[in-house]
Amino acid sequence: MEIDILKDFSFTPVEKSKIDTFDFENVQFGAKFTDHMLVCEYKNNAWQQAEIKPYAPIQLDPSARVFHYGQAIFEGMKAYKDVNDEIWLFRPEENFNRFNKSAVRLAMPEIDETIFLDGLKALINIEKEWVRKGLGNSLYIRPFMIATESGVIASPSNEFLFCILLSPAKSYYAGKIKVQIAEYFSRAANGGIGAAKAAGNYSAQFYPTKLAQEAGFNQIIWTDSTHTKLEESGTMNVFFRINDTIYTAPTSDRILDGVTRKSLIDLAKKEGYNIEVRPVLVDEIVEAAENGTLKEIFGAGTAAVINQIEAFSYKDKMYELPNMDNEGSYALDLKDKLTKIQNKLADDSFGWTVKI
């Protein structure tokens, strides 16, 4: 669909682009943003005219609800540039739908498709130069919504701000990571907001993750309330390979329904891997690590893509995984196949990629 920026969105360009100051070789994930952002206010029960304007601070009343009650949601998406300089999104409808599910759960208004998806396309069209080609390069997309109404009454806001930021990205983690299995802290509760991409799900993890990092780990694999089932790692959904079968936990109201997760499940099936979606017990993973049948653990997420886990700890014992990199690693093979689809270097038989 052709988007008429001037008709559908108000557009104020930057006076001078900062692209020349951006170091595309040394990219720190999510640290710097492109020249423009999209903003759209919600008030009087309606979304207002969306605006694409220079990236700049947002001014809010100090009593805005987001600061006090954490009414905030976001998404993570990526765009890729192919060898012909065309730009592609990966399954953007999935993020749009999940954003609106998160909005409902957090008592926020659903966003219109025109603002979210057409707005995103219009914004990326303006920022084309910021998308670099080649496997490993992408433009990370961060749509978010915050409650802006002033007043510290503990009830849902009636005013909101929707915004989309763009940030050139390479990898999220520098390499393989070490994780700790959660034995005390929890990320989410039954009936809670764990399945929503809510800001609070991330801040809830910061303290336990900080403790884990002080102990030499990168991340935590979260468990259910009984600490017996492995769920997700907070920045990624998690996959376990025992012998020749891959296992991953089913989604629930505690686990994020990851777009990379669901794509990987379909891709693995198509490629003939044995993959089972079923509860994964801490005990069976520990036992498989002890008897040598645990071959791989890897995480999957938009920012992290597919990231190998080289070791985990449980009850103060460290379990190292075998290095499968030269022995038919499922994680590396699936990462290669998925990223080639995303970058239009392989046939997209699923129809996941959407041209901008």
Residues engaged in binding ligand COI (CB under 6 A): 76, 235, 301-303
99 vs 247 by CB, closer to ligand COI: 99
CB of 196 to ligand COI, least distance (A): 12
76 vs 109 by CB, closer to ligand COI: 76
CB of 263 to ligand COI, least distance (A): 13
CB of 228 to ligand COI, least distance (A): 25
289 vs 301 by CB, closer to ligand COI: 301
- Closest-approach residue to ligand COI (CB): 76
* Token code pair at residue 33: 């943003």
Assign 3-class secondary structure to 216-276.
Answer: CCCEEECECCCCCEECECCCCEEEEEECCEEEECCCCCCCCCCHHHHHHHHHHHHCCCEEE
Q: How far apart are CA 309 and CA 178, in angstroms?
A: 6
Q: Measuring CA to CA, which residue among 233, 140, 258 is closest to residue 178?
A: 233
Which residue reads 């800001």 in tokens? 199
Q: How far apart are CA 156 and CA 158, in angstroms?
A: 7
141 vs 297 by CB, closer to ligand COI: 141
Q: How far apart are CA 137 and CA 339, in angstroms?
A: 10
Which residue reads 């990320």 in tokens? 187
CB of 142 to ligand COI, least distance (A): 8
10 vs 203 by CB, closer to ligand COI: 203
SS3 label, residue 221: strand
CB of 117 to ligand COI, least distance (A): 17
